[in-house]
Copies of this chain bind each other. A is one copy, B any other.
């Protein structure tokens, strides 16, 4: 089997390493000439090119670009695909991607390998990045069964924990544990910045330690990532933000009423339930 990878960054490069190690021929495409040279030199791919036509012989193509350009890439790629080729992506939102790509290529199946690192680029790519991590496939009622079968087998070979759910269910689940935390964490930083007294701000900056560091980490992370989450998972993110606001209001109300037994019960519940997410 021949596998194509469009986008030779952290995710694309890491998938390439694993598929080559599994014995597949891997052809890479990147618009950056240097990434093509490096990917071949590093042994991530058998060959690489800037030309999407080079993927004509492949059986499965993984689009590993930012979510914002997946549809443009797919549109340019599709004329070169063989009729039985399977198309998939690795975007961290699925509803909007699946909605656009399914009509373009019926043998498309959305995917989301859940691993990463703060780093980017082909030099950050590594083998076994995805092993033991979740890999979600999001078939629709129209997805051909053989496409699901082939993709399931590939994900299994990567050593991932496979999950299968609808694009909407995926986007709702990741809104809770990834996109909502990004926004609540960002709001924590902007709230602190709203303090008008410079003495307080200076002291707060001096006193902040591990609690603030952890709670603010994703909110102070990559801005493009946050914009992507909001733009491409807007509806589910807004739904979780509305629910979060209710939770916050409930907690604030408890403190306003000095209802310490309710506060203790609430914090005992968060302490008990959090480990289920870890």
User: Does A75 reach chain B (CB closer than 8 Å)?
Assistant: no
User: Does A206 reach chain B (CB closer than 8 Å)?
Assistant: yes
Chain B residues with CB under 8 A of A219: 267, 270, 274
Chain B nearest CB from A221 CB (Å) reads 7
Given contacts A169-B200, A277-B205, contact A267 B195 (CB under 8 A): no
Chain B nearest CB from A232 CB (Å) reads 11
Specify which of B174, B205, B250, B256 is in contact with A207 (CB 8 Å cutoff).
Answer: B174
User: Does A214 reach chain B (CB closer than 8 Å)?
Assistant: yes
Q: Are B193 and A177 in contact (CB under 8 A)?
A: no
Q: How far is the CA of A258 from the CA of B163 in the complex (A)?
A: 31
Q: Are A200 and B172 in contact (CB under 8 A)?
A: yes
Specify which of B192, B214, B243, B277 is in contact with A176 (CB 8 Å cutoff).
Answer: B192
Q: Are A245 and B252 in contact (CB under 8 A)?
A: yes
Specify which of B220, B237, B263 is in contact with A270 (CB 8 Å cutoff).
Answer: B220
Give a binary string over A2-33; 1 marks a CB under 8 Å from any B CB, 0 the rest. 00000000000000000000000000000000
Specify which of B176, B191, B200, B240 is in contact with A180 (CB 8 Å cutoff).
Answer: B191
| Interface hit among A35-43, A51-59, A181-189 | A181-189
Chain B nearest CB from A240 CB (Å) reads 7
Count of A residues near B, CB < 8 Å?
93
Residue from A190, A194, A249 having most chain B Cβ neighbours under 10 A = A190
| Interface hit among A94-102, A119-127, A151-159, A223-231 | A223-231
Chain B residues with CB under 8 A of A245: 245, 248-249, 252
Q: Are B216 and A271 in contact (CB under 8 A)?
A: no
CB contact list, A134-172 vs B, under 8 A: 134, 136, 161, 163, 165, 169-170, 172
Chain B residues with CB under 8 A of A177: 192, 204-205, 207-209, 211-212
Specify which of B189, B242, B277 is in contact with A273 (CB 8 Å cutoff).
Answer: B189
Q: Are A251 and B214 in contact (CB under 8 A)?
A: no
Q: Are B215 and A215 in contact (CB under 8 A)?
A: yes
Q: Are B255 and A216 in contact (CB under 8 A)?
A: no
Q: How far is the CA of A216 from the CA of B188 in the complex (A)?
A: 13
Q: Are B189 and A181 in contact (CB under 8 A)?
A: no
Chain B residues with CB under 8 A of A267: 186, 219, 223, 226-227
CB contact list, A252-270 vs B, under 8 A: 252, 255-256, 258, 260, 263-264, 266-270
* Smallest CB-CB A-B distances: 3 pairs: A220-B274, A223-B267, A173-B203
> What are 6 inter-chain pairs, A to B, with CB distance below 8 A?
A114-B207, A165-B199, A181-B188, A211-B217, A223-B267, A223-B271
